[in-house]
Structure 1
Amino acid sequence: MKLKAKVSNKIFTFKSVKEVLGKANEEKSGDLLAGIGATSATERVAAKIVLANLTLEDIYNNPVIPYEEDEVTRIIYDSLNMTIYNKIKSWTVGQLREYILDSDTTGEDLKHIGRGLTSEMIAAVAKIMSNLDLVYAAKKIRNQAHCNTTIGIPGTLAFRNQANHPSDSIEGILASVKEGLSFGSGDAVIGINPVDDNVDNVSRILTALKEFVDRWKIPTQICVLAHITTQMKAVEAGAPADLLFQSIAGTQAANEAFGINAQMIWEAYELIKKKGTATGPNLLYFETGQGSEISLGCHHGVDEMTLEARTYGFARVFQPFMVNNVSGFIGPETIYSGREVIRADLEDLFMGKMHGLPMGLAPCYTNHMKADQNDQELGTLLGAIAGANYFMGVPGGDDVMLNYQDTSYHDDATVREILGLRPLPEFEKWLEDLGIMKDGRLTKLAGDPSIFD
């Protein structure tokens, strides 16, 4: 295993596969803050050269966190399809890239081979791909999942109706839900981030959402994005829920900082399967984001992109209905600029899809990052072209409770129209029955929440 390369008459020598992965990553402020990233463009190029020539077996034999020390590593390795891996283990990372980008390689081919790749292998190949490479490769793959409706159908683009409210006012939440629905946003899920993470409040919001959805016969899913243990207690107490949500990470230590482990996620799945209100079989919703492990001090010296890939390796065993990143949510200490967050969005979408996950995106940013609405809109368009299953729908593009910027209800409608995409089929029919949409386009009733009064 060769861990050195000569670039511009200078020889760069790396100590480990973990270091190569970190130095080969595109610039991210979190990696620099943690002393993991390349200190120059030349060093980055050298690391990419070394990485491209490593075999998949080299990476398999050198997990970035040892198997014995980390639950996430164990889940990734224990769930690997060894028959597929053994057929391709002699490939270099460069050869894997060429296979992925070959015009004769289909999405089904990629989903098949993905089952034999560890998360570090998927991260490795993404590190030597350009933005256009990532869009082209991700677009090939469509991963579907079913809760009450099926997400990921070709030709569709769904949205989470994210009607958060700064005081958890039911009246305020429902007013925003109505506005989003009138723009055609909400077929992925109507999902609320609560201010107060307690059982009574979560139950109150879930009950209100369920009553509203039932009254208007809306073909969608509902979820309140509290900690998974709070949601479980609410469901045990009789609250209606279609999905259970949890933020997850790429190391055991970071998951423990989130207050979770794999056993807890399995228990949550069994509970929602028995006492939830959805059809299934996919009943979990995960959110992730590059940099969370670094922010928590739980990164083990591993770069934030590789850790994000490991998060997807952890997620895929639970067969979720929805997964999306919020890589721009933490702030400039992990993702500094619009350029960095766009790159992270495309990396995450590709890596998630290669893991077989039904990936959406939240191409978001915080107001203290060096990013703006134009960066966010560019990331949204590239993600939509690359085949994201869904985006967020936030009133005005500004979440008044979480205080960050994301895709708005009207952005959702615009992206669908630009790319000729449609809502999920049952939801589109429901919109047509209400006169909000006709032949895949919004009517003049769009944006009028009084439809639901």
Structure 2
Amino acid sequence: MKLTTTVLGRTYRMANLKEVFAKANEEKSGDQLAGIGAEDAKERIAAKLILSDLTLADIRNEPLLPPEKDEVSRIIESSVNEKIYSEIRNWTVAELREHLLRQTTGNDEIRRLSRGLTSEMVAAAAKLMSNLDLVQAASKIEVQSHCNIAIGQRGVLSGRAQPNHPTDSVPGIKASLYEALSYGIGDAVIGINPVIDSADSVKNILLATKEVMAKWSIPTQNCVLAHVKTQMKAIRMGAPADLVFQSLAGTEDGNTAFGIDAALLDEADELVRSEGTGTGPNLWYFETGQGSELSAEAHHGIDQVTLEARCYGLARKYKPFIVNTVVGFIGPEYLYDSKQVIRAGLEDHFMGKLQQIPMGVDVCYTNHMQADQNDMDNLAVLLAAAGVNYIIGVPMADDCMLNYQSTSYHDIATLRETMRLRPAPEFEKWLNRMGIMENGRLTPLAGDPSLFM
């Protein structure tokens, strides 16, 4: 395995694959904070050249985090289809990239190919792609999932209604939810981030959202994004949960910091299948985000793009209904400015889709980051072009509970109209019955939450 190259008369030698992977990343403040990023553009180019000539077997034979030391690695390794891997093991990373971008390579072929890839191979391909490459490759991949309804169809852009409230006030949550529904948002999930992480509070919110769904016969699914242990307690108390939620990291140590492991996820999976209210078969909602492992000092010297890809390798085991990266939520220590946030959003979406994850993105940033709402508009348009399954909607793009900036309900409606996209088919039929939408376009009634009062 050759780990040297010469660029403009200077020879670059990398110590191992971990160094190659880190330095082949586009610039990220998180990699710089960890002390593993390229020192300049020349070294970055050198690392990309070395990476492009490595074979997929090279990557698999020298794991960045050995399976005997990490359960996420074991889960990813056990998922590889050996027959498909044997057909592509001698491809270089450059050849994998070219194959994915080739005009004649379609969704069915990519779906089969993905079963022979590890998450590290997926990350390697992403590192060699431009932003437009990431859009093009992801746009080929269709990943449908079904809880109470199906989303992810080609030409569909779904939205998560996120009616958070700073005190978990049920009337406040409902008021925000009515606004979301009036704009046609909520087909991905009605998902609330709770302030109070207690089983009683989670149960009350789930009951409230189910009441709205039942009263208006809304074809969607509900979820409260508390810790999985809290949700399990609530479900055992009779709470009507269609989906169970958890944040994931790309290393065992990172998940330990989240208070989870595979055994707990297995237990929650069994519980939601036996006592949850979702039709299924896809009953999980996972969130991720570049930099979470570094923030927990659980990155093992691995770059944040590769660790993010490993999150999707872990998620794949549980056949989720939806997954999204909260792309700019952690802050400028990991993604410094809009350029890095946009790049990360496109990387995450591509890496999730290539691993057959029904992938969404929370197009977001924090106020101490070098980014603004126009930057998020740009990323949202790129993701819509790339075929993202869903994005997040909060009132006026400003989450009053989590104190960060995302996309609004009307932003998602605008993306649908501009990019000629539709809500999930079953949800659109409901919107038509309510008079909110007609012939794929919002009616003058749209945006008026008093419809539900």
Contact 1:94 1:125 in 2 (8 A): yes
Deviation at 1:327, TM superposition (A): 2.1
How does the TM-score come out when normalised to structure 1? 0.99
User: Which whole-Å CA distance do the structure 1 matches of 2:208 and 2:16 have between them?
Assistant: 53
Contact 2:84 2:115 in 1 (8 A): yes
Deviation at 1:212, TM superposition (A): 1.1
Is 1:278 aligned to residue 278 of structure 2? yes
Aligned partner of 1:87 in structure 2 is: 87
User: Which whole-Å CA distance do the structure 2 matches of 1:107 and 1:17 have between them?
Assistant: 30
Aligned partner of 1:269 in structure 2 is: 269
2:414 maps to a residue whose letter is T
Aligned partner of 2:147 in structure 1 is: 147
Aligned partner of 1:424 in structure 2 is: 424
Which digits, 9 at most, give the CA deviation of each residue in 1:8-29, with x for residues without a partner? 1110100001110000000000
Aligned partner of 1:397 in structure 2 is: 397
* SS of equivalent residue, structure 1 residue 431: helix
* SS of equivalent residue, structure 1 residue 320: coil
Deviation at 1:101, TM superposition (A): 0.6
Aligned partner of 1:332 in structure 2 is: 332
* SS of equivalent residue, structure 1 residue 418: helix
User: Which whole-Å CA distance do the structure 2 matches of 1:425 and 1:93 have between them?
Assistant: 38
Contact 1:291 1:327 in 2 (8 A): no
User: Which whole-Å CA distance do the structure 1 matches of 2:46 and 2:25 have between them?
Assistant: 11
Aligned partner of 2:436 in structure 1 is: 436
Which digits, 9 at most, give the CA deviation of each residue in 1:146-175, with x for residues without a partner? 000001011111000000000100000000
Aligned partner of 1:317 in structure 2 is: 317
User: Which whole-Å CA distance do the structure 2 matches of 1:82 and 1:290 have between them?
Assistant: 29
| Structure 1: unaligned runs, 5 residues or longer | none
Contact 1:168 1:194 in 2 (8 A): yes
Contact 2:327 2:361 in 1 (8 A): no
Is 1:342 aligned to residue 361 of structure 2? no
* SS of equivalent residue, structure 1 residue 357: coil
Which digits, 9 at most, give the CA deviation of each residue in 1:237-275, with x for residues without a partner? 101000000000100000000000111111111111111
* SS of equivalent residue, structure 1 residue 287: strand
* SS of equivalent residue, structure 1 residue 324: strand
Is 1:39 aligned to residue 39 of structure 2? yes
Aligned partner of 1:209 in structure 2 is: 209
Equivalent pairs, count = 453
Aligned partner of 1:287 in structure 2 is: 287
User: Which whole-Å CA distance do the structure 2 matches of 1:174 and 1:63 have between them?
Assistant: 48
Give structure 1 regions of 4+ aligned residues with deviation exceeding 3 angstroms.
Answer: none
* SS of equivalent residue, structure 1 residue 285: strand
User: Which whole-Å CA distance do the structure 2 matches of 1:217 and 1:263 have between them?
Assistant: 36
1:277 maps to a residue whose letter is T
Superposed, 1:111-122 pairs within 5 Å as: 111-122=111-122
Which digits, 9 at most, give the CA deviation of each residue in 1:271-304, with x for residues without a partner? 1111111110100000000000011110000000
Aligned partner of 1:70 in structure 2 is: 70
User: Which whole-Å CA distance do the structure 2 matches of 1:243 and 1:218 have between them?
Assistant: 16
Give the CA RMSD over aligned residues: 0.6
User: Which whole-Å CA distance do the structure 2 matches of 1:161 and 1:233 have between them?
Assistant: 24
Deviation at 1:62, TM superposition (A): 1.1
User: Which whole-Å CA distance do the structure 1 matches of 2:107 and 2:375 have between them?
Assistant: 28
Is 1:353 aligned to residue 353 of structure 2? yes
User: Which whole-Å CA distance do the structure 2 matches of 1:121 and 1:425 have between them?
Assistant: 34
Contact 2:156 2:421 in 1 (8 A): yes
Q: Percent identity?
A: 60
Aligned partner of 1:220 in structure 2 is: 220
Which digits, 9 at most, give the CA deviation of each residue in 1:365-391, with x for residues without a partner? 001000111111111010010000000
Is 1:180 aligned to residue 180 of structure 2? yes
Aligned partner of 2:233 in structure 1 is: 233
Contact 1:145 1:151 in 2 (8 A): yes
User: Which whole-Å CA distance do the structure 2 matches of 1:222 and 1:329 have between them?
Assistant: 22
2:403 maps to a residue whose letter is N
Which deviates the most, 430-439 or 45-54? 430-439
* SS of equivalent residue, structure 2 residue 287: strand
Which digits, 9 at most, give the CA deviation of each residue in 1:196-254, with x for residues without a partner? 10011001101111111101100000000000000000000101000000000100000
| Structure 2: unaligned runs, 5 residues or longer | none
* SS of equivalent residue, structure 1 residue 402: coil
Aligned partner of 1:307 in structure 2 is: 307
How does the TM-score come out when normalised to structure 2? 0.99
Is 1:165 aligned to residue 135 of structure 2? no
* SS of equivalent residue, structure 2 residue 360: strand
